[in-house]
Amino acid sequence: IACVDRQDLADALYFTQNAEGTGLAPMDCFLALRGLKTMALRVAKAQSNAEQIADFLASHAKVTRVFYAARPDHPDADLHATQATGGGCVVCFTTGSTALSKHVVSATKLFYITVSFGSVHSLISCPCDMSHASIPAEVRASRDFPEDIVRVCVGIEHAHDLINDLAQAFDSFDEPDRRDALLLVASSPLNKLDVPE
């Protein structure tokens, strides 16, 4: 949808629409206009949620780094503040472990696993396995793209519900070394006791 205030632009747009078929159907136009009426509210809520999630992640012991431009500890926070009124709704973080990152993505219950950037629903993904999987690992490494990065596109659900979901995903991770050690102990012949019946 484009609104212009000059007839020559309107004529050029009409020509393109007519020649290429880029015009929306009436129902699509209605839905787009209806969505625009509440867009500011949805973006404000998603951004507020993202700020709270970024703060939660920054204080979490299993998170090694948070990428959110509106946080004061972001290297470009001052520059970002001159260009935007908030940090947006995308928060990324690293854990120092690809296994933990993948677990968090798969163990959340309220987040949809997908690579999209926007929805009223919260989304989560491991970019190195999804959206950036076609980029060779050595190229990602040369560009300092962390293999354990998790991208969260925050929606408009209640922030506490989203934070609790992320917390339970972190808490449910059983570190592979510890898990393997427990399996070894459990399977050890020394661990088997003769219990009288």
User: Distance between the two ends of the chain, CA-based, in angstroms?
Assistant: 78
Nearest to 154 by CA among 66, 72, 60, 95: 66
Token pair recorded at residue 161:
């519900």
Helical pair 159-171 and 98-107, crossing angle rounded to 10 deg: 130
Assign 36 to helix, strand or coil: helix
Strand-pairing partners, residue 93, are 66, 150
Say yes or no to pLDDT of 181 above 60: no
Is residue 187's pLDDT more than 60? no
pLDDT at 155 over 70: yes
pLDDT at position 18, please?
A: 79
pLDDT band at 2 (very low <50, low <70, confident <90, very high): confident
Tell me, what's the pLDDT at 133?
A: 80
Model confidence pLDDT, tens digit, residues 99-151:
999 999 999 999 999 887 778 999 999 988 888 888 888 888 888 888 999 99
* Average of per-residue pLDDT values in the chain: 86
d(CA 134, CA 8): 43
Q: Are 185 and 191 in contact (CB under 8 A)?
A: yes
Share above pLDDT 90 across residues of the chain, in percent, rounded to a whole number:
56
> Across residues 4-31, what is the average pLDDT?
86
* CB 50 within 8 Å of CB 90: yes
